[in-house]
Each structure stands twice: as C-alpha cells, then as structure tokens.
Copies of this chain bind each other. A is one copy, B any other.
C-alpha cells in the first residue's frame, strides 16, 4: 500500500535555505535537512539525487531572488547612471543580508552544483539592459562584465573580511560606483 509523501522538493529547498543561512554550508548536512522536514536522511534521495543536486536547486532559488531585487532596483533607478547605482546598492545589500546564500552562488563547487543557465540569465538581464543604455550596445558585454566583476569582487572581499586596512568601506563602495559609472558612459 502506497504511503503518502511527508515532504516535497519545495519544502526541502526552503528548509535548506534556512539552514544554510543559520548554520553555514558545512552545517547544511543531509541529516540536518532531513530532520528539518521530518524524515530520515535516506528519504531525501527520493526527491533529490544527492547533496550536489540539492545545492544546485538552492542556488537557483537564490539567483531568482536576486533577480527580483535587481529588477526592482533597475526599474526604480531612472536614468542609466542612477539605475546602475541603485542596482549596485541592491546587489550589495542582498549579499550582506544573505551572506551564506550569496557565497553559495559563487562557491567553488562541482559543475553539477552550479546555478542553471536560465536562472543565471534571469539575474543578469536587467544589468545587461541598463549597461547597454549606458555604454552603448557595442561595449555592453565588456562594460557589464567590468561592473559585475567589481561588484562581486567588492562584496565577496567585504564578506571574507579582506578589507583590513581600515578606512570606510561604504566610502570605497560609493567611490567605485561613481568612477565606474562615469568611465563606462559612452
């Protein structure tokens, strides 16, 4: 006689995101996830193929959430320079308020644990659109890569505690946005 499901992929992913943020990537064990959704760890393998696939599903979920906040910032930003600044601020705020989630997006993990192309595109669409207005279509890709490299590098170093020479980190961020915004303008 078939026994009814006690959990679902959606519930597993949601529980995993809570555990990730609260206990870090190392704390995100299959046993811990199983406990959170009320089963034993072997049962999780009925829903996901393993921890690697689970990480990918979580990363996709995070990328979608980031996409929503970037889209909102782009829409509220107005002219290209202001929109870029708004998106940069939203990007940094997302990373600082969800450090473990942000870290997972760029973690050195097996290929199979990485964000799917679809979700990756969703998160970068608004930036490409805005940068294309700023830098012109000929340089849109290079300019977007310059901006996102800077933003990712900045927040990941900030999260890693790599800015240890004093000074105001907020000021360095504002300085970077200003210089980049001006220098990428067509």
**A145 x B154 contact (CB < 8 A):** yes
Known contacts A157-B152, A164-B117; A176/B145 CB under 8 A: yes
Contacts of A179 in B (CB 8 A): 146, 180, 183-184
Question: In A140-175, which residues have CB < 8 Å from any B CB?
Answer: 141-143, 145-146, 148-154, 156-157, 159-167, 169, 171-172, 175
Q: How many copies does the complex hold?
A: 2
Nearest B residue (CB) for A174: B142
A25 is an interface residue with CB less than 8 A from chain B: yes
A139 is an interface residue with CB less than 8 A from chain B: yes
Known contacts A108-B107, A183-B183; A172/B160 CB under 8 A: no
A81 is an interface residue with CB less than 8 A from chain B: no
Q: How many residues of A contact B (CB 8 A)?
A: 45
Chain A residues at the B interface, C-beta cutoff of 8 Å: 25, 103, 106-108, 111, 114, 117, 120, 124, 128, 139, 141-143, 145-146, 148-154, 156-157, 159-167, 169, 171-172, 175-176, 179-180, 182-184
Contacts of A150 in B (CB 8 A): 146, 149-150, 153
Contacts of A165 in B (CB 8 A): 124, 128, 141
Contacts of A166 in B (CB 8 A): 141
Known contacts A172-B142, A175-B142; A157/B148 CB under 8 A: yes
